[in-house]
């Protein structure tokens, strides 16, 4: 659990900006993915889904819509496994929107 929280903290820190630095969504994406894998190994599907959502948002910020769609799809699958169908539907809508936008 501690390792997962460390990855999550690194991701949040990567998205902070200061006078000398800009947010780094590529690094944050990588850290959120590692946190998601960590939470998956602990069978904490809700936390895993949230990390996939954050990773998807980071991918959207960099213009990598296919990668973002994949992350939203993974988050939706986590929510379905938890029988949280409303959350899964919301995530799947984001996934569908990005997939349609990426095909043109």
Say how far apart CA 81 and CA 46 lie, in whole Å: 9
Is 7 or 99 the better-scoring residue by pLDDT? 7
For residue range 55-66, list pLDDT tens digits in order: 999 998 998 888
Do 78 and 45 form a contact (C-beta atoms < 8 A)? Answer: yes
Q: For residue 19, what are the domain limits?
A: 2-102
- The reported pTM is 0.88
For residue range 3-50, list pLDDT tens digits in order: 999 999 999 999 999 888 899 999 999 999 999 999 999 999 999 999
Can you give the pLDDT at residue 103? 60
Q: How many domains in the chain?
A: 1
| CATH, residue 33 | 1.25.40.10
């Amino acid at each position: 659990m501690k390792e997962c929280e460390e990855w999550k903290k690194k991701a949040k820190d990567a998205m902070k900006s200061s006078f000398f630095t800009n947010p780094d969504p590529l690094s944050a994406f990588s850290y959120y993915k590692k946190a998601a894998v960590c939470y998956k190994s602990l069978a904490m599907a809700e936390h895993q889904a949230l990390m996939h959502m954050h990773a998807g948002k980071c991918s959207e910020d960099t213009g990598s819509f296919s990668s973002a769609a994949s992350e939203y799809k993974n988050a939706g699958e986590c929510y379905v496994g938890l029988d949280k169908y409303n959350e899964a539907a919301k995530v799947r809508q984001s996934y569908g929107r990005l997939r349609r936008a990426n095909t043109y």
